[in-house]
């Protein structure tokens, strides 16, 4: 169990906004390579680990889980240094205010922690206390006082925004974290890979860590089209 918790914590800490899954792609390739017969990445970013079956007459099976996570994208840098954003995936607006977020530089090499600004309760008009603002009414504060300071951090329009890693044990049998959807699925794929490495399957099995599920649910289609499995399991 300790090994699984450590792996899950490591997987959930990797930022992989939908459509920008490069770090998770690298992680899954490196973890699959010592175990699978073949590992490849298609042009969209889906990672496929192939375990060749001992009986070619058996039907093939594809098992998949997505690597990407929901988050935000910067749409504008205000002159005062505040960042405007829009959602990527089903981010619930009602939980955003006061949330700590990781804003990534355009080159993906660095990030800065900011938070979504909110008003003190006593400064909020009574008619607004029970309303949830839309994304265009909110902003991310990095502590910068001008747009130039933001640009110097490598952050600009198009920068990815993900939740700050927050993996925690809650009681003896539960965990809470960002990106559990679907890094738990990735953990299961890795467990399956270890099992099939030690126990050769009769049928050919494809393990696919897919992309862009949170954005349009179609990221895995190239893998399905290319591999044409007899059946698949999510």
CA distances (Å), origin 16, targets 6, 61, 166: 18, 26, 15
For 19: left if phi > 0, alpha if psi spans -120 to 50, otherwise beta; the answer is left
What's the rounded Cα separation, in Å, for the pair 110 and 5? 26
Cα-trace Rg, the chain: 21
Please, is 45 exposed, middle or buried when counting C-beta atoms within 10 Å of its C-beta (0-12, 13-18, 19+)? buried
Query: Which of 194, 213, 214, 228 is an active site residue?
Result: 213
Q: Which two tokens stand for residue 212?
A: 């862009």
Count helices and strands in the chain by DSSP H and E runs: 6, 13
What one-character DSSP code corresponds to residue 180? H
Please, is 230 exposed, middle or buried when counting C-beta atoms within 10 Å of its C-beta (0-12, 13-18, 19+)? exposed
Cα–chain-centroid distance for residue 224?
21
Q: Does the annotation count 213 as an active-site position?
A: yes
Please, is 87 exposed, middle or buried when counting C-beta atoms within 10 Å of its C-beta (0-12, 13-18, 19+)? middle
Between CA 162 and CA 171, with CA 166 as vertex, the angle to 5 degrees is 145
- Catalytic amino acids? 213
């Amino acid at each position: 169990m300790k090994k699984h918790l450590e792996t899950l914590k490591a997987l959930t800490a990797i930022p992989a906004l939908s459509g920008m899954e490069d770090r998770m792609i690298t992680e899954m390739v490196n973890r699959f390579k010592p175990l699978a017969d073949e590992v490849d990445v298609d042009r969209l970013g889906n990672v496929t680990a192939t375990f060749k079956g001992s009986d070619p007459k058996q039907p093939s099976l594809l098992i998949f889980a997505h690597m990407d996570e929901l988050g935000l994208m910067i749409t504008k840098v205000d002159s005062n240094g505040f960042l405007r954003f829009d959602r990527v995936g089903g981010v619930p607006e009602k939980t955003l205010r006061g949330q700590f977020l990781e804003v990534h530089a355009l080159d993906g090499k660095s990030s800065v922690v900011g938070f979504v600004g909110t008003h003190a309760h006593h400064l909020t008009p009574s008619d607004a206390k029970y309303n949830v603002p839309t994304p265009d009414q909110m902003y991310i504060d990095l502590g910068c006082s001008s747009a130039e300071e933001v640009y110097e951090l490598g952050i600009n329009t198009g920068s990815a925004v993900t939740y700050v890693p927050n993996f925690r044990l809650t009681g003896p049998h539960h965990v809470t974290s960002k990106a559990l959807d679907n890094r738990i699925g990735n953990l299961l794929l890795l467990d399956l890979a270890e099992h099939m490495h030690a126990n050769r399957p009769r049928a050919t099995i494809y393990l696919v860590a897919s992309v862009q599920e949170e954005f349009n649910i179609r990221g895995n289609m190239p893998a399905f089209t290319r591999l044409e499995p007899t059946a698949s399991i999510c």
